[in-house]
Amino acid sequence: MFTGLVTDMGEVVAVREVAEGLRRLNIACGYPRASIGEGASIACAGVCLTVVGTGDAGGRAWFAADAAAETLRLTTVGHWRVGTRINLERPLRIGDELGGHLVAGHVDGVATVTAREPLPDMLRLELRTRHDLARFIAPKGSVALDGVSLTVNAVAGDTFSVLIIPHTLKVTTLGGLAVGDDVNLEVDLMARYAARLIEAR
């Protein structure tokens, strides 16, 4: 589990196909190499990936993670290339402060930026997603976009908007988004379970 509070911005430094439908990514990061164990989970732009190796290059540690066909199909991972910058978060530990919201790292799909409005010290983004995901998004509710915990400001049909504050612009990749860009979307766990309970009745 994660909180949607980004702790580092990583960079893809290598991409290779290791088998049909299986892609290995090397991601440079600011975490000490000794602290990254094989088998550990790291949220990469909101996608929970498992560490399968580590190394050092250019004064930075890197970790390797494999992305399977389902991940490549449902998320933006399939579009990552060398140089792609991504938000990183280590898993929540018992006793850690829950400053964002509970994020599983299981991306539901993508949302596409439809409008970008710079405001004094902030950025307003409008995004559109699939109808079956939009039904889980509510004003003042939570979403994770590329792994960042955000509060929804407004919802209209399949479109919703969020405000990005200065700190988030500084420590995440969201400030670089342009109209037409896709981001990984994870809807709020509580909304998903509430909907499932209603359906079961």
Active site residue 48: yes
Q: Which residues of 132-160 are buried (b: 16+ CB within 10 A; e: fewer)?
A: ebbebbeeebbbbbbbbbbebeebeebbb
Max CA pair span of the chain? 57
**Candidate list 7, 14, 41, 112, residue with the active-site label:** 41
**Candidate list 14, 40, 50, 159, residue with the active-site label:** 50
Would you tell me how many other CB atoms lie within 10 Å of the CB of residue 177?
A: 19
Active site residue 106: yes
**Candidate list 19, 35, 79, 106, residue with the active-site label:** 106
**Candidate list 68, 115, 194, 195, residue with the active-site label:** 68
Active site residue 173: no
Distance CA 184, CA 159 (A): 15
What pairs with residue 166 in β-bridges?
Answer: none
Active site residue 160: no
Distance CA 15, CA 26 (A): 7
| Contacting residues for 194 by C-beta, under 8 A, at least 6 apart | none
**Candidate list 29, 44, 45, 48, residue with the active-site label:** 48
**Candidate list 19, 115, 151, 194, residue with the active-site label:** 151
| Contacting residues for 64 by C-beta, under 8 A, at least 6 apart | 24, 25, 26, 27, 51, 52, 53, 54, 55
Active site residue 41: yes
Within the chain, residue ranges assigned H as helices are: 69-74, 131-134, 166-171, 189-200
- What is the set of active-site residues? 2, 41, 48, 50, 68, 106, 151
